[in-house]
Amino acid sequence: MNNTQELEAKYGLPSKVIFCKRCVISNQRPASEVEFKHNIKTKKVTMNIGEDGICDACKYAEKKEEISWEQREKELVQLLDKHRKNDGSYDCIVPGSGGKDSVYAAHILKYKYGMHPLTVTWPPILYTDYGYLNFKNWIEVGGFDNITFKQNGKVMKLLTRLSFENLFHPFQTFILGQKNIAPKIALKYNIPLIFYGENEAEYGNPIKDNKSSLRDKAYFSMQNLDEIYLGGVSIGELREKHAVDLADLQCFLPPDYKELEKSDIEVHYLGYYLKWIPQEAYYYAVEHANFQARPFRTEGTYSKYVSIDDKIDDLNYYNIFIKYGIGRCTYDASQEIRNKHLTREEGMALVKKFDGEFPQKYFKEVMNYLGMDQDYFYELQDKFRSPHLWKKVDGEWKLRHTVNKDGADD
């Protein structure tokens, strides 16, 4: 008898694990938007898998095949014609780190469509050599102006450690800063357009109007300081208990709501207008800005060029595996199945081989950075395993359900 449904499901996850019939993702995948929420108590929104057994991201991929990309490009040209400035000022912002997607977006906007992008970077917590080289090449070989916001290192470390301990989410501070830096710079320099790369619907996140004004984006604005949590800790507690000055937290916080209300800044996803295929963005970045993949495979997956600029990222994906039972390989393979670069069977085999592999390479360095004892990390990780996903079998933790149907309860 299967009693999975009676087991506790943490984080508001669906108690029954269902895998998409077409790719390898499960309904436990949290929407990325959830990661931007500041409050730990926020209810999780996860990947929807329909009654037909197919996830929203796969459905979107199917819909993408019917899209008239010619028509979409016309819409893009119209938008750009409306905002292009030839008076020496910037007309759009492309946020990014110099990964393949930001290289592609900035380059094509500038050199194909004649825009004048300012690139904006919220640097990784711990740059990898390849990440830093790619960032430099983006700016120097690609040819862009760039504003990089280097954070207060002490506060960054404190918040990263807190979000690690409280949320098992070492990347929260990075994601918050990365999301907020572009709107803030846009407001400061009065730049009318912000271009993110991929459409979030690619990942099965709720499909919202692509062309939204900045003030509609709830997670970009801040109305009440008391509602905001960083690393699972309220702003008040950070100031009182951790003696952090509000000025030192400013860069992690969204722009002021009143300022946003006055602005006409628009946020767009280039992936809405141009057919976005990660592998092609990669080749484009190699050709135009000397983008370099890492010569070694990323632990936990089979890929060499996706999210390679932060040493903490590998551990971040591992923690996602602990919390949601979804490893980095599942993410990569699902996307490549949707783009028809892999069959589902190939994806399943890769997941079996790589998902949940421990990110040994940078582990020690990351623990040193956080001032965290390795034993403490292992203790902590078990606290974050959701009972409906994990079972201890002969002293070893095993997933109860896997896409390969070889889990402890399958």
Strands 92-95 and 212-213: unpaired
Q: Which is nearer to Zn ion, 29 or 184 (CB)?
A: 29
Q: Which of residues 36-55 bind Zn ion (CB under 5 A)?
A: 55
240: Cβ contacts below 8 Å, ≥ 6 apart: none
By CB under 5 A, which span of 17-25, 34-42, 240-248, 254-262 interacts with Zn ion? Answer: 17-25
Q: How many residues does the chain have?
A: 410
Give CA–CA dist 42/393, Å, rounded.
Answer: 32
Lookup: tokens for 349: 């085999």
CB 162 within 8 A of CB 169: no
Among 9, 13, 17, 23, binds Zn ion (CB under 5 A): 23
CB 300 within 8 A of CB 314: yes
CB 98 within 8 A of CB 131: yes
Q: Which is nearer to Zn ion, 23 or 120 (CB)?
A: 23
How many binding residues for Zn ion (CB under 5 A)? Answer: 5
Q: State yes or no: residue 403 binds Zn ion (CB under 5 A).
A: no
- Least distance in angstroms from the C-beta of 72 to Zn ion: 23
- Least distance in angstroms from the C-beta of 332 to Zn ion: 13
Beta bridge partners of 121: 148
Q: State yes or no: residue 29 binds Zn ion (CB under 5 A).
A: no
SS3 155: helix
Please give the residue whose beta carbon sits closest to Zn ion in the complex: 20
CB 85 within 8 A of CB 189: no
Q: State yes or no: residue 64 binds Zn ion (CB under 5 A).
A: no
Among 13, 19, 22, 321, binds Zn ion (CB under 5 A): 22
Q: Which is nearer to Zn ion, 23 or 370 (CB)?
A: 23
Give CA–CA dist 327/345, Å, rounded.
Answer: 17
Q: State yes or no: residue 20 binds Zn ion (CB under 5 A).
A: yes
- Least distance in angstroms from the C-beta of 403 to Zn ion: 11
Summarize as ranges the residues that interact with Zn ion (CB under 5 A): 20, 22-23, 55, 58
